[in-house]
Structure 1
């Protein structure tokens, strides 16, 4: 582009110079001499025009972003106040019941005292000699009958005593040892350990056996009253232990059958000091 402008300028200048030279001087108008402009200045001026930097475009104004709308605050509705309890109207006081006064009891008239019948004195009965004689005769008869029955009852009691004592005495030493050994197996010696004077806690038991050695009746403690009156709790424990041992160890079938009459009923003495080995 610069070259075209420069060539066009030279071409026009050449035409103007040729016309000026070819015209007669009379025809030449008086033209004031134009100032001489060096080509370098023109070239620099054109160069400045062509190389001038266009003005910087104005920076776009940043649009302000709209502020986000804040959510409207949610206003919680206040709960309606609870209704105040209505005070219950007081019940009307019951009217006092007027109790009619009880009528005063009538004072009974005093009863006149009854006249006591006059007791006539009775005459003392005369002594009845016949009735007295009959009473004496009856008393004599009763005494005679009692005297006749007494020897019979005494004989029976003596026979029972002899049988009891005899049975105990007739137990041989071997049979008695067997009985003690059998009962000792069921004896609870720990029940009286620590008892003071165990040799005094003797328990006497009557034992009745059938022919097969089983108990014919429950064993009976003959000195039970003495034990109860003593107040000794160890003696009472020894009594219960002896009874349990006799019942628990039955039957005693080791006793000889041919001597059943000798061991059918007998008395056995329990000495805790010997049974427990104290």
Structure 2
């Protein structure tokens, strides 16, 4: 911590604010926090430090949106997410930082491309008189396995499952509060499950916990700011922000 300069602290504080905001208003923005932490700290260490802040923000998100979760969706995702987390832990044991960033970046861009294509197909189907839900939604089991395993993998490797799961929830046509409630419970459960793995591979340390303690108040401010935004945001604007932030984060991971 003593080696961090003023600009580094500003970047970490901005990331902490984004963590709180992303959990209670715009989920895709969390990728920017991942990018800022990785720019200031070594990639693997940044993952461990960020995880604790995410859990703090999860507490606020669950408290605010606990009644809006779709539990059928969460249970459907659970097995695949578990497999993805284990795969991610194994990957982290062997891959270097560069491989981690580029692998996640490619996955995110692929998910975005598939989601946008499906939404375009959906729009064409609706124009021809088809049901918007049946036209857009992939088979439930296939989607749960695909997105769940990718979500588990990317959340373990770089806390970057937000964009992956955002694409899944968008495809499920959740309105804003249902989207945020389901995402809140999903990440609260998954992030806590990641802690033993993170401790075992040495990315959560006493030093990272001290850093987190300094940044927790900023996360709290971001969480309450996000709640204020969520009560006023339009559904179309919400979806565009999620997709936009996802693209920015994916491109950063590829070029950094």
TM-score by length of 1: 0.19
**Greater helix content:** 2
Q: Relative contact order (C-alpha < 8 Å, sep 6+): which is higher?
A: 2
